[in-house]
Chain A
């Protein structure tokens, strides 16, 4: 990149794709391409089987008790919109509260704002304790009031690298009869997830952040909750029978998958999940934790830097500002040395406002990143400081 070896440190935005995933895509289009759930011919049967096998694979990936609890979507954003519509429209009433946290991505804020506008519900936010980026859990009990219908929060913050205490949050909500939604976009490809052990009611993830193609993700929901939900999009495949004036719905999960789905990318998601488990998600989590801590420490040693997120038990990403140098300048300079960073508000504008910044620079790692690459990042940042006379 610009005459330098590429160091890709923008994995929280999207990961690179392994050859097996690319092969799964081309193999499908070359040999197995047909529509699913429709044909009687062999090719369609083959496509349908591979598509539904991914559903089973995804259920195993997050240890859902049944593959019907997996609804395929375009990604986490669409999953949350599905939830806010299919669950929210019929459950949430005026005066009800959706409890979020101050560190949510726009995708876990705006769909709830739209729901609030439709229903007269309100949003409330668990506070973040400043640059350290931890949720103020002392406020949790008081925030879980009787009118809270859902606690929706991110597992790992894309802007801070905070790992939220998922089990504790889900347990406290459950004790009050409040449903929980977990945004696992940043965590699903980085650590083991067991929805039964975690005790969450809903969870969403995006394939493209975990080695799969863009445009495929999923929403997990407990079966009895999904059974009670109304569809959110109408069309083919989601119906049982259609009359001129009325229709009946297909069963879960097909009730929520109108139209021809993203078949090829779904099948490639299967390959990505196999790949990640071959690498080992525990190993990835360990690597994340080590490289995240190493980057945090090295940035601190560099000096003249403001660091965001917790010092300990952080995810594999660091968010920072060099004193008196804007994040966009840092990203432009790093890019010229082949280092791909992200600079901006990371789709967390309310959090940025709370922290009193307009943007930060972010280096986000995956299992293929090395401490040598972090050293190179630090060397480049030192050069930027020198250029700017800092």
Chain B
């Protein structure tokens, strides 16, 4: 019945949404931020432990749709061990993929490319970006809750 959605809801996305990685709070976190999507009420909190400009560990918690949960879960996997500079670059690549569908050659997206299908579902772009916006806000030390609106 939903063949055309197999691309958006791939098995790896379903797995992450059902059993999100790095889920929970993080003792000793030195950056944190909240994110929310006012349109649907999705909300999350992210906790990062940074050291020498590198994200050593991070956790998140929140509730929302499968795309939001999978994207946040996969993001936390991919940010671990990266520098702020690397994360900013990765965010730009991810943002471009989600909003325009463009995937730059020699990108650093790796497994995150499974989320490229979101681009064809404009109503779901916010879901895929919520976790990222919260992470970027935490790294920038901006403690205002981020909103996708």
Contacts and interface: CB of A to CB of B under 8 A. Distances in A.
Interface of A: 2, 324-329, 332-333, 336-337, 343-345, 349, 352, 358-359, 380, 383-384, 386-389
Contact of A387 (B9, B64, B65, B121): B9
Contacts of B111: none
Interface of B: 1-2, 4-5, 8-9, 14, 18, 39-43, 63-68, 121, 123-124, 127
A380 B121 contact: no
Given A380-B1, A383-B2, A387-B9, A344 B41 contact: yes
B4 A328 contact: no
A65 B18 CA distance: 59
B127 A328 contact: yes
A342 B56 CA distance: 40
Nearest to B69: A326
Given A333-B5, A336-B2, A383-B1, A327 B40 contact: yes
Given A337-B1, A359-B41, 6 more contacts: A326-B65, A328-B67, A333-B5, A337-B2, A343-B40, A359-B40
A349 B37 CA distance: 12
A239 B100 CA distance: 52
Closest 8 CB pairs of A and B: A358-B41, A328-B65, A326-B65, A383-B1, A345-B41, A344-B40, A329-B66, A359-B41
Contacts of B63: 358
A336 B9 CA distance: 13
B41 A387 contact: no
A358 B64 contact: yes
Contacts of B1: 337, 380, 383, 386-387
A328 B124 contact: yes
Contacts of B8: 332
B64 A326 contact: yes
A349 B63 CA distance: 15
Contacts of B64: 326, 328, 358
B39 A344 contact: yes
Contacts of A389: 14
29 contacts: A324-B18, A325-B66, A326-B66, A327-B65, A328-B40, A328-B67, A328-B127, A329-B9, A329-B65, A329-B67, A332-B5, A333-B2, A333-B5, A336-B2, A336-B4, A336-B5, A344-B39, A345-B40, A345-B41, A349-B41, A352-B41, A358-B40, A358-B41, A358-B43, A359-B40, A359-B41, A384-B2, A387-B1, A387-B9
Nearest to A352: B41
Contacts of A328: 40, 42, 64-65, 67-68, 124, 127
Nearest to B64: A326
A356 B66 CA distance: 19
B42 to A, nearest CB: 6
B121 A332 contact: yes
A2 to B, nearest CB: 8
Tell which of B2, B39, B68, B127 has the most Cβ of chain A within 10 Å.
B2
Tell which of A2, A328, A359 has the most Cβ of chain B within 10 Å.
A328
A344 B149 CA distance: 14
A12 B132 CA distance: 33
A272 B85 CA distance: 59
B5 to A, nearest CB: 6
Contacts of B18: 324
A358 B42 contact: yes
B77 to A, nearest CB: 21
Contacts of A333: 2, 5
Contacts of B65: 326-329
A325 B64 CA distance: 9
B39 to A, nearest CB: 6
Contact of A332 (B14, B39, B42, B123): B123
Tell which of B4, B42, B63 has the most Cβ of chain A within 10 Å.
B42
A328 B8 CA distance: 13
Tell which of B1, B42, B123 has the most Cβ of chain A within 10 Å.
B1
A77 to B, nearest CB: 17
A102 B139 CA distance: 38
